[in-house]
Amino acid sequence: MMKQRKPYKTYTREFKLEAVRLMETTNRPATEVAMELGIRRNQLYKWKEQLAKKGDAAFSGGGRPKTENLSELALLKLENEQLREENEILKKAAAYFARELK
């Protein structure tokens, strides 16, 4: 039985801005701020980097598009990429086992 993964958490723009402000203005380590907010430390650094790159335009999007909202072409591209990866794995496995038989 396949275990279903948890859905991604989404945070508001205000939450992200406040989290970055807390990290920058307090003398506490980023790890402590992240634990207090219930997020990962590296997420704070990602938000800080996005804010530095984009300024006021940061955090304006709706995040990663949901699968049901993707077009058929996008879904086929995703499936194609997955099949390519699986094909590469099978090629490597076949080469490995062929070496073992010699």
Give pLDDT tens digits along the chain (102 positions): 567 777 778 888 899 999 999 999 998 999 999 999 999 999 999 999 999 988 888 887 766 666 666 788 888 888 999 999 999 999 999 998 888 776
Please give the backbone phi and psi of residue 93, each rounded to the nearest 5 degrees, phi first: -65, -40
- pTM higher than 0.85: no
CA-wise closest residue to 59 among 102, 13, 11: 13
Domain ranges of the chain: 10-61, 69-102
Select the CATH number that applies to the domain covering 10-61 from these four: 1.20.81, 1.10.357, 1.10.10, 1.10.1160: 1.10.10
